[in-house]
Structure 1
Amino acid sequence: MPLDHLSRDLILKQIIDSTPFPKIAFDYEDDPAKNRVYLALLESIVSQQISVKAADSIFNRFLGLFPDGYPHPEQLVAKSLEELRSAGLSGQKSVYMQSVAEFALKNPMTNAYLSELTDEEVVQYLLPIKGVGRWTVEMLLMFVLDRPDVFPIDDLVIRQKMVKAYGLTETGRALYKRLHEIAELWRPHRTLASRYLWRWKPEGS
């Protein structure tokens, strides 16, 4: 059982025991006419560096630019930057959104296709898209593709929670090395461990 395995780490066990189980809830329906990976990448770009409330509002306005509420790649690349900016997108994010659409027109992005790739292969496959970084793909692996062993070390909250829980004093590369060493004990369930860390509320916080 995943929880039994993770509980071998006594510090993580304390976190698990004091934190509600993080249920998995996908935001994207299994509609064959809608590509969940494609939509997730678009939404992740919208949400970069702004609040969840603002991102939701902009993304809904963005979807409203399309007749059936779905940004088909060929329709998205045909939009002018002015049209995309009218939904509240910055000029840079508008370019990034069209970059996702251009990639989708030339390359398969379905769950079925990506399921044949390893986690790292998915990262390398999607990184050429402008505006898509490793963290973005790791979130997609965890929350859309449901991969069980992803450790998003570039996530600031994950690092902060681990530093606090394990009393770490290292910085820079030494810190990253130590975090990886700790997370090695969680394999092959690092996704679940990370979800617990996100939900964990340390005392006094």
Structure 2
Amino acid sequence: MPAAHPHHLHLAQDAYLKPLLEGIELPAFVADRPVYPALLESIISQQLSVRVADVIHGRFLALFNDGLPHPDQLLALPTEALRSVGLSSQKANYLRNAAEFALTRGLEPERIHAMTDDEVVAYLTQIKGVGRWTAEMILMFVLNRPDVFPVDDLVIRQAMVRLYGVEAQGRSLRLRLTEIAQQWKPYRTYACQYLWRWKDTV
């Protein structure tokens, strides 16, 4: 990543984070991903390894003739069909909730992109099965918002505890990590990407 990039220059002011910036290259952001299919993929991925989630997601898409889980088609599928690809009954219901929400409330890009980060979280978490973490992943990886800090992400927590030597626990840990991340504004999404990739190497 070129040192002249604004986020690189800003984050390099953090002495703990600076070595990560010098040794890790971030992938380019993927522009204009539709929110609805990405939300379904996020629900499927909840509490699963990347490998298992990818397999189940591929099987899920294969249930649809064009590989696209249109909301009305998803709602028409019986639970048995969804379970046959490896989904639990609970996740099948969560996917249906998202499809129903897409039809009745709307997940069109122009609607979502017009919202602030907090508004996106409040809007998406109305869907049963979509919590704050899932909404934050949509903000980071679908909407490409640059300043999101998913403090409840387990890998981010583990990485920050190790990198910064944080010894707090529980609520105190959450507050301390949030405090550390303040210095990364307005590029907390980028900082988290470095932490995720660094944690994979240690």
TM-score (norm 1): 0.90
Alignment of 1:17-166 (within 5 A): 17-18=22-23, 20-26=24-30, 36-166=34-164
Cα deviation 1:95-130 (Å, max 9, x = unaligned):
111011000001121222111111010000010112
Look up the equivalent residue of 2:12 and give its one-letter code.
S
Specify which of 5, 18, 42 is matched with residue 10 of structure 2: 5
Structure 2 equivalent of residue 174 of structure 1: 172
Matched, 1:196 2:194: yes
Structure 1 position 52, deviation (Å) = 1.9
Structure 1 position 135, deviation (Å) = 0.5
Cα distance in 2 for partners of 1:116, 1:64 equals 32
Question: Which consecutive residues of structure 2, in runs of 5 or more, have no partner in the other structure?
Answer: 1-5
Q: Any conservation in 1 of the 2:147–2:187 contact (CA below 8 Å)?
A: yes
Look up the equivalent residue of 1:24 and give its one-letter code.
A
Structure 1 position 24, deviation (Å) = 2.8
Structure 1 position 181, deviation (Å) = 1.0
Cα distance in 2 for partners of 1:201, 1:181 equals 20
Cα distance in 1 for partners of 2:164, 2:57 equals 38
Cα distance in 2 for partners of 1:88, 1:157 equals 25
Cα distance in 2 for partners of 1:182, 1:115 equals 28
Q: How many percent of aligned residue pairs carry the same amino acid?
A: 55
Structure 1 position 63, deviation (Å) = 1.2
Question: What is the Cα-based RMSD across aligned positions, in Å?
Answer: 1.7
Cα distance in 2 for partners of 1:13, 1:42 equals 35
Q: Secondary structure at the match of 2:150?
A: coil
Cα distance in 1 for partners of 2:85, 2:199 equals 35
Cα distance in 2 for partners of 1:64, 1:118 equals 34
Look up the equivalent residue of 2:9 and give its one-letter code.
D
Structure 1 position 65, deviation (Å) = 1.3
Cα distance in 1 for partners of 2:144, 2:70 equals 24
Cα distance in 2 for partners of 1:107, 1:163 equals 39
Return structure 1 stretches of 4+ with deviation > 3 angstroms: none
Look up the equivalent residue of 2:161 and give its one-letter code.
V
Question: Which consecutive residues of structure 1, in runs of 5 or more, have no partner in the other structure?
Answer: none
Q: Secondary structure at the match of 2:16?
A: helix
- Size of the alignment, in residue pairs? 197
Look up the equivalent residue of 2:76 and give its one-letter code.
A
Q: Secondary structure at the match of 1:130?
A: coil
Structure 1 position 50, deviation (Å) = 2.1
Q: Any conservation in 2 of the 1:24–1:143 contact (CA below 8 Å)?
A: no
Look up the equivalent residue of 2:28 and give its one-letter code.
I
Structure 2 equivalent of residue 15 of structure 1: 20
